[in-house]
Structure 1
Amino acid sequence: MANRNKPIPAQVRTAQRADAALARHLNWQKWPLARQLAYLFSAEAATGIATRVEPHSVLAKLYRHCVATRSSNEQWRIRHFLSQLVQCRTALLHRPELVPALAHIGLHYAQRVRELSAWQPPSKNAFYQLDSLLRHLFDQYGDVPAWVLGGWGSSPDRHAGLDLTQLALHIGRGQALRRFAGLPVAISKRQEHALRQAPAGCTFQEAYRYAQLAERDATEWLGVALDSRLGREPIGLDDALWLAVLDLFRAEPDLDPWQFGPVCDWIYFRRCVGSPAESAQPGFSLRGRSLASLLAHTARWHRTLGHLGRNPHYMKLLESTWPGLSVPDFAGGEGGWVQVRQLRDYPALLEEGQRMHHCVANYQRSCQLGRNGIFSLTFNGARMLTLQLTAARQLVQVRGRYNRLASAEEQRWVNQWLAVARLTVADYAWED
């Protein structure tokens, strides 16, 4: 009881006042921005922010990215920038997710091409404000690609190892993109033009794939390409092979483009992995191989994969069936040695294409929609012709192996089938 009136030592009073001050930090959001900034770089910030501020708040993130991991020189540069930014009426300092970008602006603020005092936020949207601020400070001619600015402050591209912040500074000074010293691959002037047109949100690797497709006038394949090994593997590693496969697909515009990825996966398996029955073939190439053969091999290989390794979209395609046209199959000759059979599922189309060395598989979609029917003519079980019939019951295409024309005997049996089934034939069906 006697200790109640005992004088409190000066050190204890100082500690109590510090504790009271820390308690008031819970209301740091109500402080003016200038006061928050002063506290951020003060000696008390390390203890106070760690114990009294929410870890995901703006203040905590500012401390983590602008103070805790920075040298004294870097802190000074960032503080110099932030002290000027707080004088602008901007929402940037109220968004935790934008703090890393602001820290990088501070680090490179000395390289600005315009003064911050001349900048006005274009809207209330913080993300639009960040883009506007970056262009104002670092884009002298307004031609830095959106995907480059979008990577400001991010970690280097995991495939290309490219620092997009440095690239933005380089282009922003009016330098050619292809002259940037950190590029992982040499770029032509034409490729640079395409790279600058790549969609916002791309990494450098994705933008480079866009440029490769732009050279082929195939930018509509970007999503398919990025979802395949062409998009996943580092630049330069088998690019020519995957692009050659892409060219095969582009030559068959009716083919489901999402088969491109599984075909590339099968090729990689044959080249680099192999199986107990057949070892890997590092020298595997497309020479002498048709797209029909690649599709058939891919389908058979994909069925051997476990459920976790299968592509759900591709499996759905492999399992696709259709009722077919209301045209009966045909049997002719002694013992029915001549057969005309309609193909009613995708594996059957793949098998027909592989055996006949043409890409009849690209009719899968039109068969499902009932627009066409595909029939196979066999002699004693040997495939001879592939026949295309329209929904109007008209024969419009007749092709043998390697797309050859029908022989006289084959044509005679096809005409018998047409007569029995009461079908018509287009004049051009027998022509090349």
Structure 2
Amino acid sequence: MKTNWKTQNVENRHSSFIQLVEKIDREKNKPTRYKRTIETMLLEFFGKTSKKRYTWKRETFKRLLIHLYNQKCYAILRDYNSVEVVHKMSSFGNKIVRNIEDWKQEGFEKEEQLKSLIQHCFAIYETPAFLESSFFRSDKKYMLWYIQIGRGKSIKELSQMPVQLTSKMAHEFRNAPPFFEANQALRYAQALGFGASVETAKTIGFSRLSIIRESEEEFWVTVVQFFAKQKGLVKNEVDQIIDYLTYKYREDQSFSMKSRTLNALVNQTRDWHRNVYKAEIGEVLTWKPSGIKPLYVEEVEEGKKVVYKTVELLNSVDLYEEGNEMHHCVAEYDDDCKDKACTIFSLQRQVEGEPMKRMVTIEVGLPEREILQAQAKYNEEPDKKSAELIDLWMTNAKIKKPKAVSYETYQVQANVAGEGNNRVVHVPSSDNYDMSEVARVIFWILYFIFKVILFSR
């Protein structure tokens, strides 16, 4: 009778796996697709490794598999993605700096074990953690960078480096955070080299500037330099500008960043996206203003004039821009606005000398003039400042408060239109009580207390 797999001893299981690896290695492998078994997984990867050319790749792959098994790294050998990492390592089998069989299992997690094995095989010197992760992705150029740095090569001498790095940039690249990919770390390091703050450099690193095209780098490095001088960058806004700049540069390669300002660039980007959207949707719906008085509040913050205002959105393109920047679906409300079922306002903040920021999108039902919903970015609830401004606007413009929302009153100090005064404002509380229901409950409680007292006499 065949022995159950679970009752076989460890030595037999080791022997079975090693025999399977060696058997597949000896065979003339054909292209095989993984069918969720260890055998078909090994057949697929050995099938991708030639027996005639660069035979050291195949030999390295076999040695790595057998040693991982001997080190009881079973979780790696059962996982397709982990074995794929091992297969990528074998592509650099001729660059291994230590004996594979000298590696000892470290940690319990698959990724932790694999990173330890990568360090053992390829790194004599300290290497960036983010490059270690290159073996878990697909670009072999970045794996080679890891190996070259691990052997002591300088950052500026790495193979196929797509950008020019100063000594400061090279230092920042080596010390880039582990959550970056290699191309993102390059832009991050460039930005820091051009004087950007760490936060600005992170925004640039995560933006579409991380898509590096060497043939266009002469232009894009000037864009990195431009953004490095800016403060308070938002990734979504940067990506929209990148789309616009890509279009302009490919339309006319004499286009440059010289003498440009962020405000002007933001406005040009919005105009361009607006025109693209118009071309996509064909008909642009428009409608007349509702007649609701807008909010306008001036304050001084940190010595700068700040204007808070509500702007009524009066066409499909305005709704598209609002939804695009606020990451919600207000663009779909154009038919309702056209039919006068509702109107949409954008609560905005304008700091002197800085781009306008959208705070909250507000839907007002018509003809009742009642707020139906008010959403900040990503459909989040408005913050305290926004709630204060909305409440002030409702009072001044005679807009009804939303149903099923209670308000708590508190005193705040505010400068309205440049004049200091105390005003009482209302913001949504965490409890959604209907006050009429509360009054009704209190009435009946008092009524029954009165009845009990009356009949007890």
Aligned residue in 2 for 1:209: 187
Question: Residues 80, 293 of structure 1: CA spacing in aligned structure 2 closer, same or farther, 3 A cutoff?
Answer: closer
In structure 1, the residue matched to 2:210 is: 231
Whichever residue aligns with residue 35 of structure 1, its letter is: S
Cα deviation digits, residues 281-334 of structure 1 (max 9, x gap): 443334444333222222222222238989xxxxxxxxxx9963568xxxxxxx
Q: Within 5 Å, which residues of 2 pair with 1:85-164?
A: 85-91=68-74, 92-109=76-93, 111-141=95-125, 143-152=126-135, 154-156=137-139, 163-164=141-142
Identity %: 17
- When normalised by structure 2's length, the TM-score is 0.55
- How far off its partner does 1:37 sit? 3.1
Shift of 1:372: 8.9
Say which is worse superposed, 107-116 or 208-217, in terms of deviation: 107-116
Q: Does 1:359 align with 2:337?
A: no
1:175 equivalent to 2:153? Answer yes
Structure 1 runs (4+) deviating above 6 angstroms are 43-51, 307-310
In 2, Cα distance between equivalents of 1:151 and 1:214: 23
Q: Secondary structure of the residue that 1:345 maps to in structure 2? A: strand
Q: Unmatched 5+ residue regions in structure 1? A: 1-20, 157-161, 274-280, 311-320, 328-340, 351-357, 374-389, 396-422, 426-432
For the Cα contact (< 8 Å) 1:291–1:359, is it kept in 2? no
Q: Deviations over 1:191-222 (max 9, x none)?
A: 22111122335443222111112222333235
Q: Report how many aligned residue pairs link the two structures.
A: 311
1:264 aligns with 2:242: yes
What corresponds to 2:143 in structure 1? 165
282-291 vs 131-140, greater mean Cα deviation: 282-291
Is this contact kept in 2: 1:34–1:83, CA < 8 A? no
Q: 1:102: Cα distance to partner?
A: 1.4
Instruction: Compute the displacement of 1:127 (Å).
Output: 0.9
Q: What does residue 410 of structure 2 align with?
A: none
Determine the structure 1 residue equivalent to 2:37.
57
1:361 is paired with a residue of what secondary structure? coil
Change (3 A) 1:66 1:201: farther
- Number of the residue aligned with 2:263: 292
For 1:344, the equivalent position in structure 2 comes to 310
What stretches of structure 2 of length at least 5 have no aligned partner? Answer: 282-291, 299-306, 315-320, 322-351, 362-381, 391-412, 422-457
C-alpha deviation, 1:118, in angstroms? 4.0
Q: Cα gap change, 1:171/1:94 in structure 2, threshold over 3 Å: closer, same or farther?
A: same
Relative contact order higher in (CA < 8 Å, ≥ 6 apart): 1
Match of 1:302 in 2: 273
Pairing 1:364-375 to 2, within 5 Å after superposition: 364-365=358-359, 369=385
Match of 2:46 in 1: 66
Residue 144 (structure 1) shift: 1.2
Distance in 1 (alpha carbons) for counterparts of 2:312 and 2:241: 15
Instruction: Measure, in 2, the Cα distance between the counterparts of 1:424 and 1:294.
Output: 36
How far apart, CA to CA, are the structure 2 residues paired with 1:366 and 1:83?
A: 59
Does 1:221 pair with 2:200?
Answer: yes
1:227-248 deviation digits (Å, cap 9, x = unpaired)? 6442234242522332244146
Alignment of 1:395-410 (within 5 A): 395=418
CA RMSD of aligned residues (A): 4.6
- Say whether the 8 Å CA contact 1:366–1:372 is kept in structure 2: no
> TM-score, length-normalised on structure 1?
0.58
Contact kept in structure 2, 1:393 and 1:424, CA below 8 Å: yes
Select the structure of larger CA radius of gyration: 1
Could you say which structure has the higher strand fraction?
A: 2
1:241 equivalent to 2:222? Answer yes
**Distance in 2 (alpha carbons) for counterparts of 1:287 and 1:187:** 21
Supply the distance in 1 between the matched residues of 2:68 and 2:293 (Cα, whole angstroms).
64
